[in-house]
Every structure is written in structure tokens, then in C-alpha cells.
Structure 1
Amino acid sequence: MVERFDVVDLIRTKRDKGALTTDQIDWLVDAYTRGYVADEQMSAMTMAIFLNGMQRDEIRDLTLAMIASGERLDFSGLSKATTDKHSTGGVGDKITLPLAPLVASFGVAVPQLSGRGLGHTGGTLDKLESIPGWRAALTNDEFMSQLDSVGAVICAAGSGLAPADGKLYALRDITGTVECIPLIASSIMSKKIAEGTASLVLDVKFGSGAFMQDPARARELAETMVRLGTDAGVATRALLTDMDVPLGLAIGNANEVRESVEVLAGGGPADVVELTVALAREMLDLAGLPDADPAQALKDGRAMDSWNAMIRAQGGDPEATLPTPSETHTVVADRDGVIDRLEALPFGIAAWRLGAGRARKQDPVIHSAGIDLHVKPGTAVKAGDPLFTLGAEDPARFERALESIEGAWSIADTAPAARPLIVDRIV
């Protein structure tokens, strides 16, 4: 076949700060997916985009071309409205677990296609696999049947959705071009739009434990993704949230499931409840239920019933005992005072070093490993009070985990100024 464009010409265009046309982007993504455009050529293109950016039309065209590289799910046959949520990830971010069944308890379908963790941020599927019997892989028929009957599905995404993104993401990971807003936004949104949901709420985080640490850059990413969703016909909103401090009190896998169940039972840490309820309100509003009260559904047991049904539908036992670590190490306060700092990223790295995360995709995670916090900024403590407990199967892991959090927390004489968890709402 005769190719329509010369990839070197396209690279030169972006190198010289020009804009690519829709036809050029369509061809580029297709040619790269089928192997005509080589990795080294696409590496040059991604670096040119990293350095010079893309216009709104180009980002839209790139997203649509990546969607077109694979299949697109269709929920039009469902009897329920569909809505989805995506988080850019952070330390202790287990919100998907209570959120999906909470929204589903109102008769809305939540097709939550999730992934596994790599590095310091935990994957939703890794957390749920702490539950005995639970399985992440569903057939298309099982997926659709569970959406129709239970409403909530959290499972692994198939390789057929936006395959161009999978190939491009792997390339960006080894070429220093991950932190590029046009490429991040098109990567996330191509998969989310391909999932076929009618509406989408984004939780875009900033701060120490977030992928995008700078608030201004996080806002730009949120605005870009909301535009992409809107342009593609998916009703999209975003919340901009603070991830300087770990979310909740549990960092790991089994302990995060345990904390999620506490939230579904009407308890749990205030910050996890606040964000879960806020995201649920946005999702339910987009699904046509503006007057729904998700906070009440946590209190009256509806959300827990939905969770139990979702776990059972995927082979899990919601009543089963979750794994606990055989070895623990508790750090205590060395003086009286108030916790004034607790940086998220070092605690995420510590949990990873304890075995809660993986360094390579093929590595197993240790479901019992992690950190349980006993304090948050603003908590008054006395000398000897427990601050946080590290859990592992091998006590040799404690030393490096403790090195990670050295200097990441402090005790002061006065409480720090309160900071809002949800900083802005972008529509």
C-alpha cells in the first residue's frame, strides 16, 4: 500500500512548532499501531510534542484517532444510565471501591474498567484481589450482565480498547515524555471515551503524592480532559483535589479494602467520605439524578448491599477475612505537640518498599503489606503515642521503608492551617 504521508515531514512540522491536520494525525496513529512508523520515529514525535505542545484541535484529533485504533463499548442496550469516574491517582486513593457501589445503589450503571498499580500508586484491581475468590477478568457477557443486574462492575480493561494508547504509553515511559499534558490527556480520555460511558467525572490530583504535583499544571490537565470529553459527546466534569497528604488512614491493598468497607458501613475517615460523596453527587447529577443523597445511602445500608452484590458477582466473599501482615513496626511520637506535616509521596514509596506495590509489571504485590496511619495533620499527640504502623511479611523490609519516610512528617507546637481537600470544580 502507498502511504499517504511521510512521517519525517510530520516530525519536522511539530519540531518547528507547526500544527498537524486531522488527516495527518489519523494516519500517524494508524501507521504507528500497525508498525509502519517505527518506535524511534514516534519517539521523536512525542518529544517534539513534549517540547512544543499541541493545539486543542490536535489533542482532540489524537484522542479520537487512538479511540478508532480499537473497539468501542456500547451501553445503549442497557436499561440504566451510565456514568464513570477516573482518578489521576495518589497515595491511599481507594475511592473507586466505595464509590462504584454507592452510585450503583441509585439504579445507575458504573462500568469501572481499572488497572493495576506500578510504583508508589496502588492499583484498584490489586486492592480488590485481597478479597478471597474475587476475579478481575470478566467476559463481555459477564460484564454486561453484571452491569444490568448489580449496576457496579470493577474489572480489568480488555486489550481491545485504544490499543494505540497502550503502545504509545509504553514508549513514553522509556523516552522521558510521560509528563506532557496533551499526551496524558489523550491517553486517559481515549480509554475512557472508548469505554462507552455517557458521562464521566474526573478526580485530578495535585501535591506531593500526585502524578501532577503543581496545582496550575493539574488544573490545565483537568481543563484539557473536560474539553476532550465534551468534544467527544461525553458529559464530563472534574474535581481538583489535594494529594499533599495521604487520603484516608490506610495505604496498601487489604487495609485499603478494609477502610473502604468502613466507609460503606457509614464510618471511615472524614476525607475519604467527603471525596466519595462529592464524586458520587457529580456522577448522579450527570446521570439525571440531581436530588440523590449519596451520604444517606452510606448511612442506611444501600451502598453496602450494592458492594456485597458486586463482590459476590465476581466470585468474591465479602464476609471473608482479609489478609493481615505477620510483621508490624510502629513509629511513635518523640515529643508532645501537633502533627503539622505528613507528606504523601514518601509514605507511598514506603508502602511500595514494604511490598504493597510493584517495580515491574510482572511483579506480584503482597496484599497484607502497607501502612496504617494513626494521625493526620492537626492531630494532637503526646510523646510515645503511635503515629503509624508499618506491616510486612518480611521484617527486613522495614529498614528501607523507614528510610523513605525519614523527614516526611513533623510535630510542631501549633496546628497547621486547615486545607480544603476539594479545591475546585471544572465543568
Structure 2
Amino acid sequence: MSIEPFDAVDVIHAKRDGGVVPEPALRWMVDAYTRGYVSDAQMASFAMAIFQRGMERDEIRVLTDAMIASGERMSFADLGKKTVDKHSTGGVGDKITLPLAPLVASFGVAVPQLSGRGLGHTGGTLDKLEAIPGWRAALSNEEMFAQMRGDVGAVICAAGSGLAPADKKLYALRDVTGTVEAIPLIASSIMSKKIAEGTDALVLDVKFGSGAFMKDIDRARELARTMVALGTDSGVATTALLTDMSVPLGLAIGNANEVRESVEILAGGGPSDVRELTVALAREMLALSGMPDADVEGALDNGRAMDVWNAMIRAQDGDPDAALPTPRETHTITATADGFVTAMDALPFGVAAWRLGAGRARAEDAVVHAAGVDLHVKPGDAVRAGQALFTLSADDAARFPRAIEALEGAWTIGDTAPAATPLVRERITA
């Protein structure tokens, strides 16, 4: 039996007491946990020490690199194209990946968008796309490379299990030990997967507000700066936008209805906030790829991006022209007074869509693709008593009472329209 070079208790003590864990000991801790030598109880204690004491920039870099080293590292060097990816920290109605990937790819840049599934009130990109008849998320590396190398240029698919397996193990542990919010652990989790993916450049959409993971803009800014530094230190050109997730993004929250809204954006229409954020992120991605002056809005308006969308869906066996699932039951909530919509709290709308069946409580749960919430108004809109505000959709009317309960107090109607607030608050670079 081989003798281990370090002891987990010593590593825990070092961080618990506010010290810096030496690089060899930190790399060993990640490796030993991945292979089962360090127990869940010990790693939980170490994660709590990180949560309470924090980590220095170089420690976070080493932690991230050790998680990357736990699995395979992809390379797109043979594609003959620049590659750029986007990651969002998630929110309510956030379907931006769907129009963004084909939009950026329409400029000849390869977009490897390895995505995940939803859990709780934040929807998963793969769940949304699976509302399209025939579309499949699981691709082999060969299929993924062929799709990016060819005329399509963009791929949205499930990430393979070989990328950063240490993160998968630690992620599950954080969820049950009260350490989810630790910025060093969030940043290393996201960036280990993105750096292992092998993209040349990365744009981060870091959200703040009630419907976001980070409620506070200062915490979101700290997370964004930490992740940009990690990408830069690893040789990946990285920038971040801080975006407001206090109000649901767009008018659709769910799966099939978010696909429908994404197609509207690709057709040159759709809600103004979804278009604004899609364009802002596309400009960031293309600037990092050497095209700072690309006519992004033109590619939406002239059909170029839509052509790539159709090709991308067909390449993964989906039918872009097929009818999307429709709900068996709907329930409309109406205004009780005249006035202006003065506030709309994003989180309750996400919870309502989840309770209607659009999300899952456990990883093994199925989603109802037709379930969700459609908004007919947003803050600032004038309304009359009796006017439709929101339509709830489900396959079982028994789901409506709990969804309606989630929405109690989630919006207000007043006498004066609120002042508009910017969607994109800050741009963060290395």
C-alpha cells in the first residue's frame, strides 16, 4: 500500500485557521477525493472552511487546475476555426443560448456550447431544446467536431462525463452541506468545465437579482472578476457582463414556449430585452474572436442566424419546422385594477413554472415541455382591470393552485410607471 504524501486533516486545519493551502497539498486533496481516499466528510469540512475563510487568487487557480486535471481536456486546435463559448449563471426565462449560438456561428466562428439540465427554478438549455421533436442532446466527440467543422459551426449538446469529474463529485457534496454559495467553489466549478472544454475564448453572463443565484450585485461582481481571472490565467480570453435578473427575461418561462421565443429572436423579432442581451453577448463573443465590428443585428434581421439554427437542429435529428408541444390546461391571471405594472419579482415566476412541471425537483424527474408561464405584461406597462397579465400552462389542472400560490405578491400595480433600469450593468475584463 502506497503512503500518501499529505494528510486531509492537516489541509483542513490550514484553511480552517485562515492560512493558504500550499499548491502540492491542494492538488493532492482534489486528486485524493476524486479517487476516494479523502472521504465525503473530510471534503465537506474542507468546503466549509473555504466557505468561511475564502481563498486567495492563486489558491483558486490551483483548485481549478486540479479539477481540470482530474479528467480529460478537449482541444479544438484542428478545427481550423476560432472557438468561443458562453456561460450564464442562470435565471428565470434565460433562453439566450438558443439564439446566441447560431447567431455567433453565422460569422464563421465555432461555438461549442456544452450545456446542462435544469434543477429547481432555473431551466436547463437541453430541456428546452428537447421540446423540439427528434432533437437529441447526446453527441459523440466525433459528431460534435464534425458539426463545428462543417457549415453549421455551432453545437449545443450535453457535456461528457470525462470533463472535470472532481467537480461533479464536489458539486453534489456542496448541495447538501450548505456550501453552494462559496465564490471560490462556484468559480472553480464553472471554470474547470469551461477550460477543460478547450475553447479559445469565453464570455460569462453573470446575473444578479431575485431570479439569479447571486442576489447581490457586489457578490456577482466578485464572482465575475474571479472567473475572468481564472480564464485569463489559463490562457482563455475571458470577459463577463453583469446582467439584471430581478425581472424575468423575455415573456416566456418554460421549455417549448422559450424555444418559440428564441425562434422569434432569430426571425428578427421577439421581446426587446431578449434581443438586447443576445446582441450584447454576441458582440462580446465576436470581439474576442477578432471581429469587433460584426453586424450582429443585421444577421438576426436578414435570416443568416436563422439558417444556422435550422441546420443546427437538423444536424441533431430535430425538426425545426415541427409543431412544439402544447399544454392540455391553461389558467389566466388578470389585473384587479387599472394602473401600471410597477414591479415583477423574477424568482416566484421561476418557482411557479417549476411547480407547473417545467422544471424538476430531483435530477431523475421528467419535465413537461408544454408547461410554463407566459407573460403578457412587464414592468412599466399600463394595464386595465380585467386585462390578462399571465397565462399558466400545465398538463394537469391540479398543478395550478400551488403555482398561483407561488405568485402571490410577485407583482404590483400602481399609479405611476417605474423608471427603466439597464439590463446590462457592467462589463468586466482581466
* TM-score bracket relative to the smaller structure: over 0.9
Q: Distance in 2 between matches of 1:397 and 1:6?
A: 51
Q: 1:291 offset after TM fit, Å?
A: 1.3
Q: How does 1:39-118 map to 2 (within 5 A)?
A: 39-118=40-119
Q: How does 1:169-180 map to 2 (within 5 A)?
A: 169-180=171-182
| Corresponding position of 1:210 | 212
Q: Distance in 2 between matches of 1:197 and 1:73?
A: 8
* Equivalent residue for 2:424, pick from 414, 422, 425: 422
1:294-324, Cα deviation, whole Å (9 max, x unpaired): 1110000000000000000000000000001
Q: What is the DSSP-based 3-state SS (H/G/I as helix, E as strand, rest coil) of the residue aligned with 2:78?
A: coil
1:3 aligns with 2:4: yes
Q: 1:423 offset after TM fit, Å?
A: 0.3
Aligned-residue identity in percent: 75
Moved over 2 A (4+): none
**Residue identity opposite 2:53 in structure 1:** N
| Corresponding position of 2:263 | 261
Q: Distance in 2 between matches of 1:215 and 1:129?
A: 33
Q: Distance in 2 between matches of 1:396 and 1:79?
A: 53
**Residue identity opposite 2:323 in structure 1:** T
Q: What is the DSSP-based 3-state SS (H/G/I as helix, E as strand, rest coil) of the residue aligned with 2:228?
A: helix
Q: 1:282 offset after TM fit, Å?
A: 0.4
Q: Distance in 2 between matches of 1:339 and 1:41?
A: 50
| Corresponding position of 1:241 | 243
Which structure 1 segments of 5+ residues have no match? none
| Corresponding position of 1:413 | 415
Q: Distance in 2 between matches of 1:264 and 1:160?
A: 33
Q: Distance in 2 between matches of 1:21 and 1:314?
A: 45
| Corresponding position of 1:287 | 289
**Residue identity opposite 1:17 in structure 2:** G
| Corresponding position of 1:398 | 400
| Corresponding position of 1:270 | 272
Q: How does 1:7-406 map to 2 (within 5 A)?
A: 7-149=8-150, 150-406=152-408
Q: What is the DSSP-based 3-state SS (H/G/I as helix, E as strand, rest coil) of the residue aligned with 1:90?
A: coil
Q: Distance in 1 between matches of 2:301 and 2:338?
A: 36
Q: How many aligned residue pairs are there?
A: 427
1:359-391, Cα deviation, whole Å (9 max, x unpaired): 000000000000000000000011111000000
Q: What is the DSSP-based 3-state SS (H/G/I as helix, E as strand, rest coil) of the residue aligned with 2:426?
A: strand
Q: 1:188 offset after TM fit, Å?
A: 0.3
Q: Distance in 1 between matches of 2:22 and 2:272?
A: 48
Q: Distance in 2 between matches of 1:25 and 1:197?
A: 26
Which structure 2 segments of 5+ residues have no match? none
**Residue identity opposite 1:69 in structure 2:** S
Q: Distance in 2 between matches of 1:281 and 1:13?
A: 44
Q: 1:2 offset after TM fit, Å?
A: 1.3
Q: What is the DSSP-based 3-state SS (H/G/I as helix, E as strand, rest coil) of the residue aligned with 1:77?
A: helix
Q: 1:329 offset after TM fit, Å?
A: 0.3
Q: 1:120 offset after TM fit, Å?
A: 0.3
Q: What is the DSSP-based 3-state SS (H/G/I as helix, E as strand, rest coil) of the residue aligned with 1:2?
A: coil
TM-score (norm 2): 0.99
Q: 1:293 offset after TM fit, Å?
A: 1.1
Q: Distance in 2 between matches of 1:84 and 1:280?
A: 10
**Residue identity opposite 1:47 in structure 2:** M
Q: Distance in 1 between matches of 2:278 and 2:323?
A: 24
Q: 1:326 offset after TM fit, Å?
A: 1.1
Q: Distance in 2 between matches of 1:243 and 1:291?
A: 28
**Residue identity opposite 1:66 in structure 2:** M
Q: Distance in 2 between matches of 1:193 and 1:90?
A: 23
Q: Distance in 1 between matches of 2:45 and 2:397?
A: 45
Q: What is the DSSP-based 3-state SS (H/G/I as helix, E as strand, rest coil) of the residue aligned with 1:70?
A: coil
Q: 1:86 offset after TM fit, Å?
A: 0.1
Q: Say what the alpha-carbon RMSD is for the aligned residues.
A: 0.4
**Residue identity opposite 1:202 in structure 2:** L
1:231-255, Cα deviation, whole Å (9 max, x unpaired): 0000000000000000000000000
1:93-146, Cα deviation, whole Å (9 max, x unpaired): 000000000000000000000000000000000000000000000011001000
Q: What is the DSSP-based 3-state SS (H/G/I as helix, E as strand, rest coil) of the residue aligned with 2:400?
A: helix
TM-score (norm 1): 1.00
